[in-house]
Amino acid sequence: MVKRGIKSGPRMADRVYEDIRRAIVQGELKPGERITEEVLADRFGASRTPVRSAIVRLASDGFVDMTPHSGTAVKSRARHEIAEIYDVRAMLESFAARLAAERHEEHHLARLDGIQSELEELSAAARRGEREDAVDALSSLNLGFHQAILDAAGNPTLKDSANRLMDIGFLINTYASFDASEIDRSVSDHRKLLTAIRSRDGAWAEALMRAHILGARNSLIDHPPRH
Amino acid sequence: MVKRGIKSGPRMADRVYEDIRRAIVQGELKPGERITEEVLADRFGASRTPVRSAIVRLASDGFVDMTPHSGTAVKSRARHEIAEIYDVRAMLESFAARLAAERHEEHHLARLDGIQSELEELSAAARRGEREDAVDALSSLNLGFHQAILDAAGNPTLKDSANRLMDIGFLINTYASFDASEIDRSVSDHRKLLTAIRSRDGAWAEALMRAHILGARNSLIDHPPRH
DNA sequence: ACTTGACCCATTGGATACAATGAGCGAGAT
DNA sequence: ATCTCGCTCATTGTATCCAATGGGTCAAGT
């Protein structure tokens, strides 16, 4: 082989994993699309070995389906599967919200406040002018908010389980939150949630988070993204 | 290469994955123990390639820690991490119990009944004579019972998330349920749970399952297994 | 025309050779 | 004696070669 990609610092397999993952999440690789190891290897300037390693991990994470000698395809999910994922997320994250309310430290709150104010500003800006750039940023801030709550809950296993599901549903989320009213609802949900957590009201936080996620779930079912 | 293991049917990587997994779960490979690819390759009569593939999956599943150029080690978990895992399991499976109660079909109930009667017989037998053989069987039946409830809940994502955690905690479970009073408690919990599910009382089933798992969690914390 | 079977090829699965890296060890200096 | 620097070596990371498999195609028979 001639040359590896750009830099040789991190492991090639990791870079390939991240890249494929991102490609899937961003919709560059569509559900059902077949991916062959050789093509990916060429695309990333690597050999098949690290690509293989990456694919194995992606399969374990539920992003692709690997069938023995036939090939690998981006996993496609039926509507009801998406709904199921949201149901489980609702359980996990509402639990996290309760724990966060009950156990959070001051710095967790500070981080949540920071993210929330960015979220407020950005959504206000998005409602007016440059919405195009804002969607990605909002999506990422939204993710950050949920992460922060999971951190505040102080249960790494819980965070891990929830993240697995969040990652899988991320693509959907991105498109769904394109809707302006959805953005407003989400930001306002977060605001209430933050209040509940700040006042250490576990039950309230739990209920709000459940409603927040199930709300997203239902609006997603009513207005499915293009597929 | 000389010869591959015994049979050539399933993929070598899969067999290696299962074998290592089993070795870890059964305590043959102890937490913290380092495993090198070459040693495993020799042990299974395979080359490093499938072993590597298996290890990547095991790492993704949380059974081992893979550090870049330093090696792979069986993941060791602190006591509080085990407790965290049980907390999350309690959430997921109590949710599953509720869904199972509300939505189960007849055949789910039949399966549960079947497992439960086996469980009753075996625990009675264990209380008397041949306990040695019974422990593994009880453990496996117990697993089957929880699986059956997850199936009855009808949410594959939920089943998946719960399974991930159950697998990780399986080793602990095996040793913990060695205690006779634990076995009795567990069987009696199951009996009540089954009643709740049969009567389609979701809230009751949820509460029972939560108590069941948190009970196991607490007795595990009080009587930690050898490590 | 439809079914069936054999063959070919694309693609993955596994083995081995080679490169890179991080850890441990020992020699030398202070 | 201790600390540091560099070297060696065990082990992983990557590349490439060969084997195996399964699907698709094309042709022949009914």
Comparing every residue's Cα with the C1' atom of nucleotide D18, the nearest one is B1
CA of B49 to C1' of C17 (A): 13
- Helices A48-60, A12-25: axis angle to 10 degrees equals 50
Beta bridge partners of A72: A35, A66
Q: Which of A57, A84, A95 sits opposite B56 (nearest CB)?
A: A57
Contact status, residue A149 vs residue A197, Cβ threshold 8 Å: yes
Closest CA relative to residue B140, chosen from B15, B14, B22, B6? B22
Q: How far is the CA of B10 from the C1' of C11 (A)?
A: 17
Place of tokens 């009080």: B222
Residue found under tokens 């610092």: A9
Set of chain B residues whose Cβ sits within 8 Å of the Cβ of A52 = 53
Question: Is any atom of nucleic acid chain D found less than 7 Å from the CB of residue A34?
Answer: no
| Burial (CB count within 10 angstroms: exposed 0-12, middle 13-18, buried 19+), residue B60 | middle
Closest CA relative to residue A72, chosen from A32, A35, A127, A19? A35
**Chain A (12-41) residues lying within 8 Å, Cβ to Cβ, of chain B:** none
Domains defined for chain B, CATH in brackets: 12-74 (1.10.10.10), 79-222 (1.20.120.530)
pLDDT for the residue B7 = 39
The per-residue pLDDT for A137 is 84
CA distances from B94 to A210, A215, B219 (A): 16, 22, 18
B14 CB neighbours strand D below 7 A: no
Question: What CA–CA distance (Å, rounded) separates A111 from A198?
Answer: 12
**And the tokens for B54?**
């298996």
**Tokens in use for A82?**
């998406």
Question: Among residues A123, A116, A227, which one has the least CA distance to residue A177?
Answer: A123
For tokens 């007795």, name the residue.
B219
d(CA A153, CA A100): 4
- Would you state the pLDDT for residue B3? 34
Closest-CA residue to B96 (of B211, B227, B209): B209
Q: Across chain B, how many H-helices and E-strands are there?
A: 9, 3
Side-chain-side CA neighbours of residue B196 (13 Å): 22
Give the number of other CB atoms < 10 A from CB of residue A4. 14
Taking the CA of residue B130 as centre, how many other CA atoms within 13 Å lie in the half-sphere pointing to its CB? Answer: 6
Nearest nucleotide to A8 by CA–C1' distance? Answer: C20
Integer CA distances (angstroms), B5 to B46, B47, B96, in order: 7, 11, 40
Per-residue model confidence (pLDDT) at position B191:
97
Task: Using the structure block, give the residue that is written with the tokens 């939560």.
Answer: B210
Query: What token pair was written down for B91?
Result: 């959430």
> Is strand C within 7 Å of residue B46 (CB)?
yes
Q: Inspect the interface and report whether the beta carbons of A84 and B11 lie closer than 8 Å.
A: no
| Cα B218 to Cα B227: distance, rounded to the nearest angstrom | 17
The answer to whether A74 touches A58, Cβ cutoff 8 Å, is no
Contacts of B62 in chain A (CB under 8 A): 160
Low-confidence ranges of chain B (pLDDT < 70): 1-9, 129-132, 170-178, 224-227
Q: Which nucleotide is nearest to B16 (CA to C1')?
A: C14
CA distance B98 to chain A (A): 12
CA separation (Å) from B139 to B26, B33, B119, B173?
A: 12, 25, 10, 8
Side-chain half-sphere exposure of A114, counting CA atoms within 13 A = 9
For chain B positions 43-102, those within 8 Å of chain A (CB to CB) are 52-53, 56-57, 60-62, 68, 81, 84-85, 87-88, 91-92, 95
Rounded Cα distance, A171 and A12, in Å? 25
Which one of A56, A62, A84 has the shortest CB-CB distance to B155?
A84
Residue B128, min C-alpha distance to chain A (Å): 39
Residue A176 is predicted with a pLDDT of 55
A88 neighbourhood in chain B, CB within 8 Å: 92, 95, 155, 157-158, 161
pLDDT in tens, A23-41: 998 888 999 999 999 999 9
Q: Which of A205, A225, A207, A204 is nearest to A215 (CA)?
A: A207
Whether any strand C atom is under 7 angstroms from the Cβ of B13: the reply reads yes
Q: Strand D: which bases are under 7 Å from protein Cβ?
A: 10-17, 20-23
Single-letter amino acid, residue A182 = E
* A116-125 pLDDT tens trace: 999 999 988 8
Residue type, A67: T
Instruction: Provide the Cα torsion A128, A133, A139, A142; round to 10°.
Output: -60
Task: Say whether residue B191 is in contact with chain A using an 8 A CB cutoff.
Answer: no
Size of interface A-B (CB pairs under 8 A): 67
How far is A122 from A130, CA to CA, in rounded Å? 10
Residues with pLDDT less than 70, chain A: 1-9, 129-132, 170-178, 224-227
The per-residue pLDDT for A3 is 33
Verify whether the Cβ–Cβ distance B84 to A157 is below 8 Å.
yes
Q: Which residues of A touch B61 (CB under 8 A)?
A: 60
Provide the mean pLDDT of chain A.
Answer: 88
